Chain A
Amino acid sequence: MNDNDTIIKIEDVSKRYGKVTAVDRVTLEIPRGEFFALLGPSGCGKTTLLRMLAGFEVPSEGRIIIDGIDVSRVPPNKRPVNMVFQSYAVFPHMSVFENVAYGLKFDNVPKADQYGRVMAALADVKLDHLAERKPDQMSGGQRQRVALARALVKKPKVLLLDEPLSALDAKLREAMRFELAELQDKVGITFVMVTHDQDEALAMACRCAVMDRGKLMQTATPSNLYEFPANKFVADFIGSVNLFEGTLEVDEPDHAIVYSEELGGRLYFDHGVTGAGGEKMWVGVRPEKIEMIKRAEGSTPPTPEDAPAGCNVVPGTIRQISYLGSESVYEVDLDNERRVRVSRPNLSRWDQEDFTWDDEVWLRWHGDSPVLLQN
Chain B
Amino acid sequence: MAKRAARAPLDYLGSPAIKGWLAGVFLFLYTPLIILILFSFNDSKANIVWKGFTFKWYVKAFENDQLREALFNSLLIAVVVTAISLVVGALMAFMFWRFRFPFKGALESGMNLPIVVPEICFGVAVLLFFAKIGFPTDLPYPLNLSQIIIAHVAFAFPFVAIVVRARLESFNPELEFAALDLGATPFQALKDVIIPHMRPGLIAGGLLAFTLSLDDFVITFFASGPGTVTFPVKVYSMVRFSVTPEVNAASTIIIVITILATVLALRAQKPVGKES
Residues on A close to B: CB < 8 A? 54-56, 75-77, 81-83, 85-93, 102-103, 106-107, 134-137, 143, 147, 150-151, 154
A106→B273 CA distance, assembly (Å): 29
Give 28 CB contacts A-B under 8 Å. Answer: A55-B180, A56-B177, A56-B180, A75-B180, A76-B177, A76-B180, A77-B182, A77-B183, A77-B185, A83-B177, A83-B178, A85-B174, A85-B178, A86-B174, A87-B174, A89-B177, A90-B276, A91-B175, A91-B192, A92-B175, A92-B276, A102-B182, A106-B182, A106-B184, A136-B274, A136-B275, A143-B276, A150-B178
Are B275 and A92 in contact, CB atoms less than 8 angstroms apart?
A: yes
A349→B185 CA distance, assembly (Å): 62
Main SS at interface, chain B = helix
A154→B184 CA distance, assembly (Å): 13
Within 8 A of A (CB), among B181-202: 181-185, 188, 192-193, 196-197
Are B179 and A102 in contact, CB atoms less than 8 angstroms apart?
A: yes
A106→B184 CA distance, assembly (Å): 7
Are B182 and A154 in contact, CB atoms less than 8 angstroms apart?
A: yes
A151 partner residues in chain B, CB cutoff 8 A = 181-182
Question: Considering only CB atoms and an 8 Å cut-off, how many residues of chain B contact the other chain?
Answer: 22
Given contacts A102-B192, A136-B275, contact A54 B179 (CB under 8 A): no
A93 partner residues in chain B, CB cutoff 8 A = 196-197
Assess whether B172 is interfacial by the CB under 8 Å rule: yes
Are B175 and A136 in contact, CB atoms less than 8 angstroms apart?
A: no
Residues on B close to A: CB < 8 A? 172, 174-175, 177-185, 188, 192-193, 196-197, 272-276
Say how far B206's CB is from chain A's closest CB, in angstroms.
Answer: 18
A150 partner residues in chain B, CB cutoff 8 A = 178, 182
Given contacts A87-B172, A93-B196, contact A76 B276 (CB under 8 A): no
A220→B59 CA distance, assembly (Å): 87
Are A85 and B183 in contact, CB atoms less than 8 angstroms apart?
A: no
A154 partner residues in chain B, CB cutoff 8 A = 182-183
Are B276 and A77 in contact, CB atoms less than 8 angstroms apart?
A: no
Given contacts A136-B273, A136-B274, A143-B276, contact A89 B175 (CB under 8 A): yes
A154→B178 CA distance, assembly (Å): 13
Are B181 and A135 in contact, CB atoms less than 8 angstroms apart?
A: no
Tell which of B175, B181, B192, B274 touches A76, judged by Cβ atoms closer than 8 Å: B181
A338→B192 CA distance, assembly (Å): 61
B175 partner residues in chain A, CB cutoff 8 A = 89, 91-92
Are A89 and B180 in contact, CB atoms less than 8 angstroms apart?
A: no
A81 partner residues in chain B, CB cutoff 8 A = 181
B196 partner residues in chain A, CB cutoff 8 A = 91, 93
For B172, the closest partner residue in chain A by CB is A87
B174 partner residues in chain A, CB cutoff 8 A = 85-87, 89
Say how far B94's CB is from chain A's closest CB, in angstroms.
Answer: 18
A93→B276 CA distance, assembly (Å): 10
Tell which of B177, B178, B272 touches A91, judged by Cβ atoms closer than 8 Å: B178
Tell which of A82, A91, A92, A136 touches B181, judged by Cβ atoms closer than 8 Å: A82
B180 partner residues in chain A, CB cutoff 8 A = 55-56, 75-77
